[in-house]
Amino acid sequence: MTPEEKLASLGLTLPNSPQPMANYVPYRWAGNLLYLSGQGPRRADGTLCTGRLGRDTSIEEGYDHARLTGLSLLATAKAAIGTLGRIEAVIKLLGMVNAEPDFGDHPKVINGCSDLFVDVLGDAGRHARSAVGMGSLPGGISVEIEAILLIRP
């Protein structure tokens, strides 16, 4: 089953690849490595998911926001490479969580993206990862995630 078929079997569709909000590009190549710029969660209508973990956003909501962000990252990858089947491996994720200073469940939040990648890409979706807390994120978004992917020629 291709990753696109797997998405469909999960009842998921990729959103449009988001446009950069400032002076940067959505992705950059270095050999066979595809670096995806940090992205935040957007609802189907395009609005940003905002909130601060440990204050007004639950771990479950944060998990869902990280999952939405993962879909956006996959959409950007697909725009860059044509088909998700060319992803040989997700090398690394950096997950940033907009969190209160005493919040400690950052990994549980970023699992929303990690679980999605494994669900869609299988073993190729397993990756090294950092999940860290931030004092704020652009636009008040709850999470921001960037990725490094190894792509088959």
pLDDT digits (tens, 9 = 90+) for 78-97: 999 999 999 999 999 999 99
Domain boundaries, the chain: 3-11+28-151
User: What span, in angstroms and rounded, lies between the C-alpha atoms of 148 and 153?
Assistant: 16
pLDDT in single tens digits along all 153 residues of the chain: 999 999 999 999 999 988 888 999 999 999 999 999 999 999 989 899 999 999 999 999 999 999 999 999 999 999 999 999 999 999 999 999 999 999 999 999 999 999 999 999 999 999 999 999 999 999 999 999 999 999 999
DSSP the chain: --HHHHHHHTT----PPPPPSSSS-SEEEETTEEEEEEE--B-TTS-B-B--BTTTB-HHHHHHHHHHHHHHHHHHHHHHHS-GGGEEEEEEEEEEEEB-TT---HHHHHHHHHHHHHHHHGGGG--EEEEEEES--GGGBSEEEEEEEEE--
Architecture of the CATH domain 3-11+28-151 = 2-Layer Sandwich (3.30)
- Predicted confidence at residue 1, as pLDDT, reads 94
